[in-house]
Structure 1
Amino acid sequence: MIDGVKLKKIQKHCDDRGFFAELVRDDEPELLNRFGQASWSMTYPGVIKAFHYHEKQDDLWFFPSGNAQVVLYDLRKDSSTHGQTDVYYMGDENPIMLLIPVGVAHGYRVLGNIPATIIYFTTSSYHAANPDEKRISYDDPTINFCWDTQYR
C-alpha cells in the first residue's frame, strides 16, 4: 500500500427497514485530520476520470453506488513508495473509505453498466480562482497504467 494511504471498511447495520452506515467521524483523525469540504459527483459507465493530484489537501473517497476501479500513483519523491501504483475496487461490491494523501495522483474508471456516484471529503475547500488540482493525462507514460479490463 502506498505510504499514507488509509483504508476503512464500512460497517453496515442492516434490519428489515434497510441499513445505516457511518462514513467518517470526528474521532477518526487518522482518516481526515481537518474538514474542508464534502462533495458529490456522478460519472457514467466506462468513463475514466484521471489523473490529478493535490499539493495541499488530502481526499477521502467513498462510492455509495455503482462500482469503480480506483488507481493511485505515488508522485512524492521523498516517499518510501515513490513510483508505486495501487488499484482499489470500490462501490456497491466493496464499501470502503479511501484516504488519498497530498502528492498521490488519483483517478478512476466506472465499471459495469450503471453510473457510479462518489462522495468525497477534503481537508481544504475548493477555490476556483486558485485550485489545488494538478492534472496528468489518463495515459501518462510515467504512470503507465492500462485501463483496459484484464480478461483472465
Structure 2
Amino acid sequence: MDVVTRIPELAKQFRETRLSALRPVNEFFDHQRLSRPADMNEATSRLSYNTRYFSGNYGIVIALLAVYALLTNLALLIALIFLIGGFAAINRFAPEPMQVGDHVITQKSLYTGLFVIGIPLLWIAAPLSTLFWLVGSSSILIMGHASLMEPGLESEYGNVETV
C-alpha cells in the first residue's frame, strides 16, 4: 500500500492513540495541585503516576522544545532542509543516469555530492549539542512538573475493582 493513500489511516490511528492521552490544559497547568513532595518516596510515586497520566502532554512539550531548538539553531535547520530536500529531489528527478556533455551523472554520484556538502554543514550545525539540550531541558521540565503536581483523586481509586 502506498504511503500517500495511508495518510488518512495513519492520522486516524495517531489521533486515537496519542491525542486521546492528552489531558485538558487547565488540568495540566492546575496551580492548586502544585506542592512540594514530603520525601523522595512521594516524589518517585508522583513521577511514576504523572508521567503516565500526562504522557500526551509531555510529548507535546518535547515537540515544542524540538521546534524551538530548530528555530534557534538556523544552521541545523538549513543543513537538515538541504539534506532531506536533496535526498527527495534526487529520488524524484534523477532516478536514472543522465548524460551531461561527455559525463554520465548517476544517482550514486549525486548522493556523493549531496553528502560531501551536507555532512560538513551538519557537523558545523552541532546537532549533538542540540540533542543534548533537548534531552536535558525536556527532562528537567517534565520531571519538575511530574514531581510537583499532586496526583488527582482518580489515582487513589485506580486499584479498586468494580463488582
- TM-score, scaled to structure 2: 0.19
Higher strand share: 1
- Which protein shows a greater Rg? 2
Answer 1 or 2: which has greater helix percent.
2
Give the structure-1-normalised TM-score.
0.20
